[in-house]
Amino acid sequence: MFRVKICGVTRPQDVRLIVKAGADAIGFQMSQGPRKITPEQARKLVKLVSPWVTPVGVLVNEPLAKAKRLIQYCGFQVVQLHGDETAAYCEKIPVPVIKAIRMKSPTTYKAFKKYQAAAYLLDSFHKGVRGGTGKSFQSSWAKKAVRELPDPVLLAGGLNPDNVFKTIRASHVFGVDVSSGVEISPGIKDPKKVVQFIRNAKKAFRS
């Protein structure tokens, strides 16, 4: 599973930037929000991703048949599910699944312990918005989830180049995921922030 993922990518130049900067994964929003792209756009962008970087499709409450079509057509190697997908739904996905958990309370993660997921992604809770809010939640919540969940735990929500090192060290998560924290505007990445975020995150994991 990846350590550093840059999500909400919409442009070829940002794919190339992120690969060059050393990220482990790139996320493409397929379902909703200002960073949503079409399957045709995703397919073209995924072809630019180097073999050592994982293309991730980010889906929200998609019908299972559609999710499978998107995976095959776009070439996603992993999917990140941000909706109300059940454990049974996750088991039918043909590639590794990252199940997002919106941390409304310190114990929200407990309901997901029996999911067959390759990893869990802890994200902040915001009514009506599934990710990319730039809002964080308490690192102590993440630290407890890391101890109790059965698979690798990734963290999103409010991360940026200035706080990612400290947050990783405080929460002991396996990996991090960022979107708005490295942007000029939704879907448009800031090269300096991308490079600094990846550098600081990998420094934290090495130490």
At 43, list the tokens: 């397919």
Across the strands, what pairs with 50?
none
Number of Cβ within a 10 Å radius of residue 38? 10
- Establish whether 151 is a catalytic residue: no
Please give the Cα distance from 9 to 67 (Å, whole number): 19
> Using an 8 Å Cβ cutoff, are 194 and 159 in contact?
no
Q: Which of 7, 14, 74, 177 is catalytic?
A: 7
Beta bridge pairs of residue 41: none
Which of 14, 24, 90, 123 is an active site residue? Answer: 123
123 is a catalytic site residue: yes
Sign of torsion over alpha carbons 60, 199, 181, 43: negative
- Give alpha helix (H) positions in the chain: 12-21, 39-46, 64-74, 87-91, 139-148, 164-171, 191-206
Q: Which residues are designated catalytic? A: 7, 123
